[in-house]
Each structure stands twice: as structure tokens, then as C-alpha cells.
Amino acid sequence: MFLGEFDHSLDAKRRLAIPAEIRESVQEAEHGDRWVALPGINGHLWLWPVKSFESMVKATPREFLRDQRTVNLDTQVMSKAAKIELDSAGRIRIPDRLLESYGLKDKVTVLGVFDHLEVVDTAVWREQSLDAKAVGQLYGEALEARRADRK
């Protein structure tokens, strides 16, 4: 499980160091030795350990005849995805096209979100990050939505 918020900088070669606390949670046998970068549902760049991502994809039905929205989503997301190697220093080189798409230039924040990481420009994250009271309100909204879905 990945948790936490980590401020980092892209180095001169535009590499991102995976936070040490996160690297300690990664087990090669369970997660693999690479990451998959792809667009996230919230507008952040998501990073998945390759084995976790592949397991999730295998568990998702891939029917030949699917609705057009699903086909379009798959095309848009997967065509923008990239497998990324982790170097011996614990850094990854996110492709330029993804760095540019997500406005990742220098200062970034890496977020641990259960089973994946999210990378967002630090200034953008400061605007999006909520205080404790607002997070409490999100809990309430999520509970209400869950109750409505069960009805």
C-alpha cells in the first residue's frame, strides 16, 4: 500500500526519484521492476507498479463488442500510457509527452494512493489539497453516494 505526500524535483535529465518510503514498499515479486504511467481519472499522472497494473487489466473484461465510450476511453488512456524502467538509483524517466501533458516541469508532488502513485505539479497540488474540514466533508459525500448506489 502506498501512502503519503512527497515533494520532489525533476533532475536536469527530467528524472523523478521515487520516494524512499515508497520504494521500501515495493516488492519486485509482487509489483515487478517497472512502472506504468498513464492518465488518471482526476487529471493527475498515475504510476502503477507493472504487475499490479497488468493484474487489474486482466481482471477487467475485454469484450470484442463494447460500447463506444469504453472503446474511446481505452484508446485514449492506453495510447498515452508508457512502461517506465526504474534505474539503480530509484529514479524513473517519465516520457516528455507525459511531462508536458501534465505540466510537470520542476517541482512535483508524489502522492501515495493505496495501490498507485499520482504525480502532480506542486503548485497545482497546493491549490487542490484540502484542509481537514473539507476532507471530512468528502467522507460524508462519499458515504451518501455509496448509500444512493445501494438503493
Find the domain containing 27 and state its range. Answer: 2-123
Q: Is the pLDDT of residue 34 over 90?
A: yes
In a domain, 147, yes or no: no
In angstroms, the Cα distances linking 15 to 50, 70, 80, 137 are 18, 32, 18, 36
pTM surpassing 0.75?
yes
125, containing H or E segment: helix 122-128
List pLDDT tens digits, range 82-97.
Answer: 999 999 999 999 999 9
Which residues, in sequence order, are CB contacts of 122 under 8 Å at separation 6+? 7, 107, 108, 109
**Confidence (pLDDT) at 141:** 95
How far is Cα 50 from Cα 27, in angstroms, rounded to an integer? 11
List pLDDT tens digits, range 4-29.
Answer: 999 999 999 999 999 999 999 998 88
What's the CATH number where 29 sits? 3.40.1550.20
**Confidence (pLDDT) at 151:** 84
**Confidence (pLDDT) at 64:** 79
Total number of domains constituting the chain: 1
* Through-space distance between the first and last CA atoms of the chain, rounded to whole angstroms: 31
